[in-house]
Amino acid sequence: MVTNTSYNDVLARLEIIGLNDMVFEKIISAPDMVGKLKPDPASFKAALKHTGLKPTEHLMIGDRFEKDLLPAKELGMRTCLVGSQSGEVDCSLNEVYDLAEFMIKSVCLGA
């Protein structure tokens, strides 16, 4: 996860939507760990470096295309837009509360 939110706030927000932090390999809090906020690509590059995986093996989920998804897409990551539809992303979710079910299905299907 790459976020502009502080690490402690991320944990609280994940709990609200029914996920725990173990769903994510790593949570990269841009203000706490990188010092540059999205859309700066530094946080996304930190995620790629951490995993050592190809960009196409990452999925960036966000609610703002320009800030969350465009920088990830430019690095080759897959993208998922929350709250609206766009032909510029790989998938879309209607609302953040769909994220838990989406993540469970993705893990179970190996997507």
Domain count across the chain: 1
What pLDDT band is residue 85 in, cutting at 50, 70 and 90?
Answer: confident
Residue 62, strand partner residues = 81
Task: Give helix then strand counts, H and E, for the chain.
Answer: 4, 5
What CATH number is attached to the domain comprising 45?
Answer: 3.40.50.1000
At 2-36, the pLDDT tens digits run 999 999 999 999 988 888 888 888 899 999 999 99
Q: Which two tokens stand for residue 38?
A: 């999205």
What pLDDT band is residue 107 in, cutting at 50, 70 and 90?
Answer: low
Prediction pTM value: 0.78
Structural domain including 58 reads 2-109
Residues whose CB is less than 8 angstroms from the CB of residue 49 and which lie 6 or more positions away in sequence, other chains included: none
